Each structure stands twice: as C-alpha cells, then as structure tokens.
Amino acid sequence: MKTKVLFIGAYGIENVGDDLPMLVMMDNLQKLAPKDTTFEFHSLSRHPSRWEEKKYNVIQHQNLEYATREDAQGKWFRGLNYNDNRDEFYNFLKLIKSMDVLIIGAGNFIIDISIDIFKGPIPLIWWYVHLAKLYNKKVFLYGLSAATLQSEYAQLLTKEIINKSDIVTLRDSYTKKYLQSLGIEKKLLVLPDPTLGVIQNTKVSLQKRDKVALQKTQKQKIALGLRDLSFLEDKGKKVFESLVHFINLHPNYCYIFVPQSTYSEDDDRKIAHTLSKKIDKTIDTHIIENRYTPKELINIYAMCDITIAIRLHSAVFSHIAKTPAIAISYLPKVEAFMKDFKTSKQIIDIKDISSKKLAKKVRYIQNNPSLRDTIQKQTKQKRKKVKKYTHLLLSLLKG
C-alpha cells in the first residue's frame, strides 16, 4: 500500500527556495523509509504546473487560493464565498480525506500579511489543519519561521495551528522563543533550514548562454540574489542605490543576476533588468533568464566566488554551494540563519547598508579564504541534522 503525502507550502509560484524543502523531504523519505514502503507525493499549488510535476515527480492540485491578486480582491478562500461553486470545496475535502499525512512548510508562513477572517497565510494554514483533523489525518509542521504578529487574531490562530498539529519543527531559535512568548507550551523542535539537506548535483546542465557567460570571464564573479523591496519604501530604495553604487565603483568583477523567483508577481529578473540599466555599460554583467530547478541554481552559485543576497534562500543556496554570502538582513529570519551558520560577520543590516559596507564585506571574504571550509563543515553537520525531519515524520506515520 502506498503512503500518500500532501505537501502544503508556497508551491506554484516559481520560487526555488520554497520548492527545495519538499524535494529534500521526498529524497530523504525514499532513502530512509523501510524498503517495503512506497510513497505517492502530492502538493497543493497556487498554479498547478506540468513543468513542476515532470521535474519534481509530484502530483499537483489547486489549493484554496485564487490564481492572482486581482481575482482574490475582496474575497475569502476559494469555495467559501457566497457565489462560489461548492464542488470546488467538497473536492478539496475528498483530497484531504485521501491523504495519510499533511506536511505544511517549510518557510516563513507565520506572518499576518493581508490577514482577514479567511484570508492570508495564517488563516489558510489554520483551515488546512482543521480540515485534516476532521478526518483524523496527521499534520507535520515542517521547518517554519515566524515574524512578529501584530494582530491578536493571528496570534490566537497560530496557537491553534501549533496545538492541533502532531509534530512542530522550526528552522530557527528566534521563532521558538517568539512562539513561547505567545504562551505556546507544545514541544517545539528547532532544526536547520531543510534546504541544507540537499545533495549538490554537479552534473546538471545549464543553457548554453548561461554556461558561456559563467565560464568565459577570468574575473571573480559575484552572484546577486535580489528581490523586490518596494514594500519597505525608502529602505528598499537605499539598498538598490547602494548596490548600484558599489557595482559602478568596482568594475573588476563580473556580476551574475541569479533569479530565485521567476513568478510573474514576484520576478527577480525584473529587478535585474531595472538595475542593469543603471550600471555602467563597460561593467561585465549577466542576467540569468531561464527558469532552473533548485539543484541547477545551486550549481550556478558554485561557479561564483561571492554572493550578495537579499533573498534568504539566495544565501542558503550559496552556502550549500560553498560560496560565501553577504546577507542583507531585512527580516529576523535572515540574521537568524547567518548567525546559526556562524557567518554573522557577513550580515549587513538593511538600516546600515552602503556601498562602503558592501566593499568592506567583500574584502573580508577575500581576506579569509578559509571561509569556504567553514561553510562546508557547517553544511555537512546541518545536512545530518536535517535528516531528523524525516525520522520524525516516519515515526509519526508509524503511529
């Protein structure tokens, strides 16, 4: 008999940092489960995609979100609004009923952005957990992290989510302390970021255009893992102004724009094109245009010498590739990851960013060649610990 696993996370938004934890868990389940165990993997996706089904070997289903922000405007989740087709909701119930376990995460889902009665990340997870428990299904919270919740409603729902889940795993100690401050007494297990469990594949193929750009230059290559920061207004503008200023003052490097997300509403390539217009034309730059799998993207970071990361998983992927990263800390999760990795000297707080500080951090990395060995050692240690997620899940499935 097959064990049916349903992954619930930020799938279908073309973000490799969100996809990789699922792939790591799938790989580890197949390696660590008893030999007579077979799995059927499913995932909820905002945009079910044949590309992802084929690349990841997972069956995708439409989740309860609307496909676009415009469609979701003024509405609750699909199937819960007055004029919705109720069959959508009942079909979703059948899907939950058919599963053996729900794995929710990994990622920064405990945030009260766009929150309403049945809208936003926390109410969505609350809804999934309660539907699972209607059918007595196991719920595994997988490597979650939290931001400070401003809403009392979000805090109460979060307590319910944690207390009704069977096993709760977190990816940083900040989240554990914060959840405990809300009065949550359930056992909370802190483990490394699940993405660190991936085994790097050096045989992945890249598009010819990207391969040539990465191999032709003799200059040191700096990977740029950026994301839209318009929600931070002036702070976000200052980050990109400082970055462009740094690049224009340091033409002796080749700069590789690496997109962690290629989703239409959150496409890192748009930022790359906007910034490239402000960079001196004589400076060697290259924008990765293709959508790659997580392992392929890790290989790109491995071909670079340093990474400047805004996206958390740009820093994570870079560490997996043994490439030292400078992390721009705009949320607690960024600082928490770097400190846990013993690379806190490579953090720049978003409030303090400048081209001079970027240059100083680059020099620090260049003057400390042993950093690669430190990163490799930390990655190996954490990769072993990441397996505990899978051992915990297997113990849950055994009952």
Whether the Cβ atoms of residue 349 and residue 293 lie closer than 8 Å to each other: no
pLDDT at position 155:
96
Smallest Cα–Cα separation from 21: which of 13, 33, 9, 31?
A: 9
pLDDT over 70 at 186, yes or no:
yes
Q: Token pair of 167, please?
A: 């096993």
Instruction: Please name the residues in contact with 6: beta carbons below 8 A apart, sequence gap of 6 or more.
Output: 42, 43, 44, 95, 96, 99, 101, 102, 103
The CA–CA distances, whole Å, from 315 to 185, 221, 229, 312 equal 32, 15, 17, 5
Round to whole Å and give the CA distance between 242 and 364.
18
Instruction: Please name the residues in contact with 173: beta carbons below 8 A apart, sequence gap of 6 or more.
Output: 190, 336, 340
pLDDT digits (tens, 9 = 90+) for 188-229: 999 999 999 998 776 778 899 998 888 888 899 999 999 999
pLDDT digits (tens, 9 = 90+) for 90-126: 999 999 999 999 999 998 889 887 777 888 899 999 9
Q: Which CATH number fits domain 208-380: 2.102.10.10, 3.40.50.2000, 1.20.810.10, 2.40.50.100?
A: 3.40.50.2000
Instruction: Please name the residues in contact with 199: beta carbons below 8 A apart, sequence gap of 6 or more.
Output: 27, 383
pLDDT digits (tens, 9 = 90+) for 45-79: 989 999 999 999 999 999 998 888 888 888 898 88
pLDDT digits (tens, 9 = 90+) for 278-301: 999 999 999 999 999 999 999 999
Among the ranges given (60-69, 265-274, 352-361), the one the predictor scored with the smallest mean pLDDT: 60-69
What's the whole-model pTM score? 0.91
Round to whole Å and give the CA distance between 145 and 172.
7
pLDDT at position 194:
94
Round to whole Å and give the CA distance between 145 and 258.
24
Conformational region of residue 113, where left means phi above 0, alpha means psi within -120 to 50, and beta covers everything else: beta
Round to whole Å and give the CA distance between 155 and 236.
28
Tell me the CATH architecture of domain 2-190: 3-Layer(aba) Sandwich (3.40)
What's the mean pLDDT when you consider all of the chain? 93
Instruction: Please name the residues in contact with 233: beta carbons below 8 A apart, sequence gap of 6 or more.
Output: none
- Domain limits of the chain? 2-190, 208-380
- The alpha-helical segments, DSSP class H, found in the chain are 16-32, 50-56, 69-72, 86-98, 121-134, 152-164, 173-181, 208-216, 234-249, 268-276, 294-302, 312-320, 332-340, 355-366, 371-398
Round to whole Å and give the CA distance between 102 and 5.
6
Round to whole Å and give the CA distance between 290 and 83.
39
Instruction: Please name the residues in contact with 328: beta carbons below 8 A apart, sequence gap of 6 or more.
Output: 239, 308, 309, 310, 334, 348, 350, 353
Round to whole Å and give the CA distance between 106 and 108.
7
Smallest Cα–Cα separation from 334: which of 345, 349, 321, 318?
A: 349
pLDDT over 80 at 231, yes or no:
yes
Helix (H, G, I), strand (E, B) or coil at 378: helix
Element (H, E) at 266: strand 266-267
pLDDT at position 117:
82
Whether the Cβ atoms of residue 56 and residue 19 lie closer than 8 Å to each other: yes
